[in-house]
C-alpha cells in the first residue's frame, strides 16, 4: 500500500545525467504504486533521440521553449504547454533555449525511473551508443535513428 510522502527541495534525490539532460526522480512507481514523476532540465540542443515505450508520458513545460516531435508533427512548446504522448508513440524533444525546465509524468507500467538511473550509471554523456542501446533494450525502450 502506498504511503504519503513529501519531497522538499533540500531532500530531493540528485539529478541523473541522462545523455546531457538532468532528470530528477521525484516519485518512482515504487513510491506511488503507479505513475512516476520527474523534474527535467536541459540546455539548448539536449534531449533524447526518437524513441517509444510501453507507457504513457506527459510533459508540462515550466521554463524555456522545447521542441517536440511525434507522428510526423513538430511543435514548439512554450511555458504552460502540456504535451501528452500515449504508450507506443514514437517521439523526441529538444530544449530550444539556453535553459529549459519541465515536469514529466509517466503512466502505469513505466520503467522510466529505472531506465534513467541505469543510463546515468552506464552512459551519462551519451557517447557510448552501444551501451545506450543496451540499456534501452533492457527496459523495452525502442530507439529510432538520431537526427531530430
Give Cβ neighbours of residue 4 (< 8 Å, ≥ 6 apart).
Answer: none
User: At which residue does the C-alpha cell 545525467 appear?
Assistant: 17
Average pLDDT over residues 11-39: 95
Closest CA to 89 of 116, 73, 71, 102: 71
CB 143, CB 92: distance < 8 Å:
no
Structure confidence at residue 126 (pLDDT): 66
Nearest-angstrom CA–CA distance, 124 and 132: 9
Structure confidence at residue 146 (pLDDT): 59
The mean of the pLDDT values for the chain is 93
- The DSSP letter of residue 48 is P
Average pLDDT over residues 76-81: 98
Confidence of residue 109 (pLDDT cuts 50, 70, 90): very high
**In terms of CATH, what superfamily is 19-138?**
Jelly Rolls (2.60.120.10)
Whether pLDDT at 124 is above 90: no
Higher pLDDT, 1 or 82: 82
Structure confidence at residue 129 (pLDDT): 84
CB 63, CB 96: distance < 8 Å:
no
pTM: 0.93
Structure confidence at residue 91 (pLDDT): 97
CB 144, CB 51: distance < 8 Å:
yes
Average pLDDT over residues 52-65: 98
Amino acid at each position: 500500500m502506498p504511503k504519503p510522502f513529501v519531497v522538499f527541495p533540500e531532500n530531493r534525490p540528485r539529478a541523473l545525467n541522462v545523455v546531457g539532460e538532468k532528470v530528477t526522480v521525484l516519485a518512482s512507481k515504487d513510491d506511488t504504486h503507479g505513475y512516476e514523476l520527474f523534474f527535467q532540465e536541459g540546455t539548448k540542443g539536449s534531449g533524447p533521440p526518437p524513441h517509444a515505450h510501453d507507457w504513457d508520458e506527459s510533459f508540462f513545460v515550466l521554463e524555456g521553449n522545447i521542441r517536440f516531435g511525434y507522428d510526423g508533427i513538430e511543435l514548439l512548446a512554450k511555458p504552460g504547454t502540456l504535451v501528452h504522448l500515449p504508450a507506443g508513440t514514437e517521439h523526441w524533444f529538444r530544449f530550444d533555449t539556453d535553459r529549459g525546465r519541465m515536469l514529466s509524468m509517466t503512466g502505469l507500467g513505466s520503467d522510466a525511473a529505472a531506465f534513467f538511473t541505469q543510463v546515468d550509471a552506464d552512459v551519462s554523456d551519451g557517447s557510448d551508443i552501444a551501451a545506450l542501446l543496451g540499456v534501452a533494450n533492457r527496459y523495452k525502450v525502442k530507439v529510432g535513428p538520431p537526427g531530430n
